[in-house]
Amino acid sequence: MFRQFLSVLSQCPCSTASSALLLLVMFSSAILTGCSKTPELSQIHGFAQGTTYNLSFELPANTTTAVSDIEKAVADELARIDKALSNYRDDSAIEKFNAQQSTEILPAEAELVSLVEAARKVYTASSGCYDLTIKPLFDLWGFKKDEFSPPTAEALAQTLAAIGMNKLETIDATHLRKQIPELRIDISSIGQSYSVDRIAKILEQFGVQNYLVEIGGELLARGKKPNGSPWRIAVEKPLPNERKLQKIASFDSGAPIALITSGTYRHFFDSNGKRYSHILDARSGKPVEHNTVSVTIFHENSTIAGAWGTALLCLGSKDGMKVADDNKLAALFIDQQDDKLVEHETAAMKTFNDVSLQHP
């Protein structure tokens, strides 16, 4: 599914003259007061999982760790995740599991079983709207090859019979069992958000406490910037042909918080005067038809936020608001009504103290 683009806000650029004046004032103040220089923000950028990743962080004081050491550890972890959980590699652990068409108890990586169980909770809470086994439906509708092809009722019924997380049993921490041999697991809906959590752990292993990790628009922030100001993230308007700001999220408390935005407004098909979303409801096997165009989730766990973002977008604001409130989720729904964008905040969002939403 498509994840909405998010960007890190910085101060507005100044003219050359005013920048020089500002630097002069800061330098003079440092001489007079004896204050130390503000720590620098280290950055790492790269390409993985078919998208880009960007890390901004403050190295611990007096550390002997080089940024290059962290860069290598990050690259190694992303490569490990790819080998374990990529649905686009035949040699990955998840695809080896999928290739075993059997109803016997099958060994599975503990990491995969853990993700299945995390997703199962969201599957149950969303009444099956969110489902890790849904990929055959995307292929059926032509989304895999980007060639829209509405299926027949018979083909849809056959495919629906071959999916369903209720047909996947967790035996223990390292074993799963399929109730139908052809059942396949696809974690693309939470793969990047899980990677965000893992990379944040890598930074913390090096003693980093202030960071912003972003992969493909999915992010997790902790602490503050070196100058003490909060991380600020721009969330764009959910419109297909515009790149304007809808909200600015300020991570005020410094607690670890993920921000995941899911949207319908860039990936869709128009056919015979009707627009079809790329978001499929696993219960009906059909594209959703509600007018919710984006859902933004704030959660301490990026993986959970990723699953909920997909689930709530599938449900739409009418049903999703109640589910989100029942699960005490801080979420912002945006509906498109004609040419207007209408926001709906959950109860937890209205009382959320870690992050504040502001108008641009």
From first to last of its 360 residues, the chain has per-residue pLDDT tens of: 333 333 333 323 333 222 222 222 222 233 333 344 567 899 999 999 889 999 999 999 989 999 999 999 999 999 999 999 999 999 999 999 999 999 999 999 999 999 999 999 999 999 999 999 999 998 898 877 677 788 999 999 999 999 999 999 999 999 999 999 999 999 999 999 999 999 999 999 999 999 999 999 999 999 999 999 999 999 888 877 767 788 999 999 999 999 999 987 666 565 565 666 788 999 999 999 899 999 999 999 999 999 999 999 999 999 999 999 999 999 999 999 988 999 999 999 999 999 999 888
Are domains 6-10+37-61+209-358 and 83-188 of this chain identical in fold?
Answer: no
- What residue type is 193 in one-letter code? S
Sequence spans of domains, the chain: 6-10+37-61+209-358, 83-188
Side-chain half-sphere exposure of 61, counting CA atoms within 13 A: 5
- In the CATH hierarchy, which fold is given to the domain comprising 6-10+37-61+209-358? T-fold (3.10.520)
Identify the residue whose tokens are 């004081």: 61
* Residue 165: DSSP 8-state: G
Q: State the virtual CA torsion across 310, 134, 289, 119 in degrees, nearest 10.
A: -30
Q: 330 and 346 in contact (C-beta within 8 Å)? A: yes
The 3-state DSSP class for residue 124 equals helix
* Long-range contact pairs involving 225-229 (C-beta distance under 8 Å, separation at least 24): 225/41, 225/58, 226/38, 226/39, 226/40, 226/41, 226/58, 227/38
Look up the CATH superfamily of 83-188: ApbE-like superfamily (1.10.3980.10)
**How many Cβ atoms are within 10 Å of 290's Cβ, its own excluded?**
18
CA 212 – CA 222 distance, rounded (Å): 6
